[in-house]
Amino acid sequence: MTSPAHAPSPSLPRWDGHVHSEYAPHGSPSATEAFLQHAAALGFTRVTLAEHAPLPDGFSDPTPEHDGNLDADRLEPYLRHAAEVRERWRGRLEVLVGLEIDLLPGHEDHARILVERHAAVLDEVVASLHLLPLGRGEWGSTDYSPETFAESARRCGSVAALRRRYLETLAEQIDRDAGAPLPRRLGHPLLIDKFQRLFPSMDPLEDSLAEAVVAAAADRGWSLDLNAAGLRKPHCGTLYLRGPMLTAARRLAVPVVYGSDAHRPDEVGAGWSEAVTEFEKAGYAARRSPGPDRLS
């Protein structure tokens, strides 16, 4: 048998694995239908709806607007909606019912119970780290605004220390996954770079930490979100998975799925060509998958 490390390099599947919906709690949500029509028109064959799951009861959300996650009473309506959409599109576009669940150190049971309770309708889970514990029961935001990022960095001691903490927490959280009943994908692994143009950080440890995250994903059978949202962020300009981390994913045969993280229909598929270029740069097959060249 060929070892996974030497398996033929695949091309990037025409799958947008991280799409929000009309249930998105922030912004001005468009009809889910419009997201899917855009995906189908671009030639995608599969889309994962990954709405933000509720935070645990009583959890004190440190983001100023408290509007990042579904309210608990909106979860079941969202899942019913996503399952209906999955049926309606059957045969035209494969729609997977998913949730973007926060990785919250110390609250692992919340995610486990949520997934177990809804496993019958869910197809997969995108697990994302947005909030970091900063000690004494307080949490910091990594991606809400430059101001909240700066405050989290101050609490950690430096920008480099915050980035280290972020990557270490990712690896620990994946490691703590005790065998989920559903496929797991790590959302936007390098979200911590969202404000990198404002807060440059040189840290020689980062490559090895990023590789430790990928190694944990390989051990636990997770895939990685080749998330293109960073390309649209004025202070970022890069994919949230790239360089040595993506090369490590290829070496360890960790599956990689493109994700637009669209919060608007016209963001579905955004950054696809940059994602393909980065994917190939990491050593995956240089031959593009046949199909519509509408994906750009």
Contacts with Zn ion by CB under 5 A lie at 100, 128, 261
Smallest distance from Zn ion to CB 229, Å: 7
**How far apart are CB 281 and Zn ion at their closest, in Å?**
24
Q: State which residue, 141 or 247, has the beta carbon closest to Zn ion.
A: 141
Helix, strand, coil: what percent of the chain each, to 5? Answer: 40, 15, 45
At residue 179, what are phi and psi to the nearest 5 degrees?
Answer: 90, 85
Cβ-based nearer residue to Zn ion, 247 or 260: 260
Task: Give me the least distance between CB of 134 and Zn ion, in Å please.
Answer: 19
**What six digits make up the tokens of 215?**
């190694």
Q: How many CB atoms lie within 10 A of CB 21?
A: 23
Dihedral (Cα; 174, 176, 181, 186), 10-degree rounding: -10
Closer residue to Zn ion, CB minimum distance, 126 or 212: 126
Q: Cβ of residue 53: shortest distance to Zn ion, in angstroms? A: 11
CB of 166 to Zn ion, least distance (A): 13
Q: Among all residues, whose Cβ is closest to Zn ion?
A: 128
The CA distance from 57 to 95, in Å, is: 29
Where residue 136 falls (left for φ over 0; alpha for ψ -120 to 50; beta otherwise) is left
User: What count of other Cβ atoms lies within 10 Å of the Cβ of residue 33?
Assistant: 14
Q: Residue 100 or 177: which CB sits closer to Zn ion? A: 100
Nearest approach, Cβ of residue 24 and Zn ion (Å): 9
CB atoms < 10 A from the CB of 147, how many? Answer: 11
The side-by-side arrangement of strands in the sheet containing 124-128 is: 15-19, 46-52, 94-102, 124-128, 184-186, 223-227, 256-259
Shortest CB 288 distance to Zn ion, Å? 26
32-42 vs 72-88: helix crossing angle, rounded to 10:
40
User: To 5 degrees, how large is the angle CA 261–CA 148–CA 172?
Assistant: 65
Q: Which is nearer to Zn ion, 49 or 214 (CB)?
A: 49
For Zn ion, the closer of residues 128 and 173 by Cβ is: 128
As to burial, measured by CB atoms within 10 angstroms (0-12 exposed, 13-18 middle, 19+ buried), residue 64 is: exposed
User: What's the min distance (Å) between Cβ of 52 and Zn ion?
Assistant: 7
Q: Which is nearer to Zn ion, 143 or 284 (CB)?
A: 143
Q: Of 27 and 146, which CB lies nearer to Zn ion in the complex structure? A: 27
